[in-house]
Each structure stands twice: as C-alpha cells, then as structure tokens.
C-alpha cells in the first residue's frame, strides 16, 4: 500500500479529539544507502517517537556484535557455533523491540498490521507502534481509557501519548494510575505536553 493511502487509512481511526493534532509522517533520505528514512509520530508539530532505519540497524549491529562476542559464537557458518549465533540474533531482536527501536519498514508493516487488528488485540500488543496507535484510536473510548494500564517499564513515548489522549478527552488520570502525571505548558490556546 502506498504511504499516503496507508497514512490516511490509519489516521481515519484517530479520535476526533486528537485528529487535528496528531500526524503520522514518513521521510526518505535520498543520499543515504538505499534511500533509507524514518517514520515518526508527531503531536502538535513535535516528534514524539521516531523509527529510523539507519539508527536501528546501527544499534542492531552493535548489540549483536556484543552478544556474539560474549557468547563466543562469532561465526554463523561454523556448524558448532551456528545455533549460538542465531540465538544471539533472536535475543538482539527481542531487546531492540522492547526498547522500541524499529526500522522505517517495521513502522510500515506495523501500520498495515494495525488496520487488520481489533482494538482489544492492539491495546495488548507487544509492538510499540501498534500500542501507540491504539491509544489514539476512537474505538478506545472515554470509558475504557481510565481502565487502560501502562507499566512503569513501558516506553516513555507510550506514556506521553496516553497522557496526551487523556488531556484531549479531558479525562482525569487517577492518582493511583501507574503512569507519571504529565508536565504541561501552554502555548497560545493549546496545552501541550513537555
């Protein structure tokens, strides 16, 4: 699916309160290797979270190199080291996923996956991108938002988007809710998360 159509399809699900303030963006750097770029979520013209291919690949390479050196399985062609090497690759992908480090292509794939996912599955997803979009979805209504739980270990961008959605829907987050209260400042008529 073309980016413009994918963006329009996903943003169609945004709640009315966030529709004019949140935008999905993607850019390509034509001078980079294979025209790599980044996908990002913007709130009030401020990047909340970015998924840059070159950054993700660099961090993947560094982490994999460290894990392979620690395990001593440095050669995936050597039959005795092959299993250990591929375990290090899997472990690298798990760590990067938990840290919210994805490529631009994973951003596109996640948005496509989101379109065919129920809101219940999206809210419980292990994918940061899908959970971030689910918070902004109109199918996650005002009654369900206060019941939504974000752990302290969740990505800071997920917390910001949750707090932003609560603010736009004028939902007070209970003091017992496990999120950190947002730090707000006012710019003109709009209140924005800092």
Residue 14 lies inside a defined structural domain of this protein: yes
Q: Write out pLDDT tens, residues 86-96.
A: 888 899 888 88
Which of the four pLDDT bands, split at 50, 70 and 90, describes residue 171?
confident
Q: Write out pLDDT tens, residues 16-25.
A: 999 999 999 9
d(CA 59, CA 54): 9
Strand partners of residue 35: none
Considering its fold, how many domains does the chain have in total?
A: 1
Residue 33 lies inside a defined structural domain of this protein: yes
Q: Write out pLDDT tens, residues 37-64.
A: 899 999 999 999 989 888 888 898 999 9
Q: Which domain holds residue 130?
A: 3-53+102-143
pLDDT for residue 24: 96
In degrees, to the nearest 5, what angle opens at C-alpha 58 toward C-alphas 128 and 46? Answer: 50
Residue 89 lies inside a defined structural domain of this protein: no
Residue 181 lies inside a defined structural domain of this protein: no
Residue 32 has pLDDT above 70, yes or no: no
Residue 120 lies inside a defined structural domain of this protein: yes
**Distances from the Cα of 185 to the Cα of 107, 166, 189, angstroms:** 30, 15, 11
Residue 78 lies inside a defined structural domain of this protein: no
H/E element, 25: strand 22-28
Who wins on pLDDT, 150 or 181?
A: 150
Residue 79 lies inside a defined structural domain of this protein: no
Cβ contact 49:132 at 8 Å: yes
CA torsion through residues 31, 34, 49, 100, sign = negative
pLDDT for residue 189: 44
Residue 176 lies inside a defined structural domain of this protein: no
């Amino acid at each position: 699916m073309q980016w413009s159509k994918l963006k329009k399809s996903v943003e169609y699900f945004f709640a009315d309160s966030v529709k004019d303030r949140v935008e999905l963006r993607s850019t390509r750097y034509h001078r980079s290797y294979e025209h790599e770029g980044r996908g990002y979520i913007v709130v009030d013209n401020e990047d909340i979270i970015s998924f840059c291919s070159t950054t993700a690949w660099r961090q993947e390479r560094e982490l994999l190199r460290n894990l392979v050196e620690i395990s001593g399985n440095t050669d995936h062609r050597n039959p005795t080291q092959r299993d250990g090497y591929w375990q290090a690759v899997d472990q690298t992908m798990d760590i990067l996923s938990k840290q919210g480090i994805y490529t631009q292509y994973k951003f596109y794939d996640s948005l496509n996956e989101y379109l065919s996912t129920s809101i219940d599955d999206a809210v419980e997803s292990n994918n940061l991108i899908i959970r971030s979009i689910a918070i902004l979805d109109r199918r996650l209504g005002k009654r369900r938002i206060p019941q939504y739980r974000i752990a302290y270990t969740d990505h800071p961008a997920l917390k910001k988007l949750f707090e932003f959605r609560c603010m736009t829907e004028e939902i007070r987050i209970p003091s017992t809710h496990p999120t950190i209260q947002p730090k707000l400042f006012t710019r003109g008529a709009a209140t924005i998360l800092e």
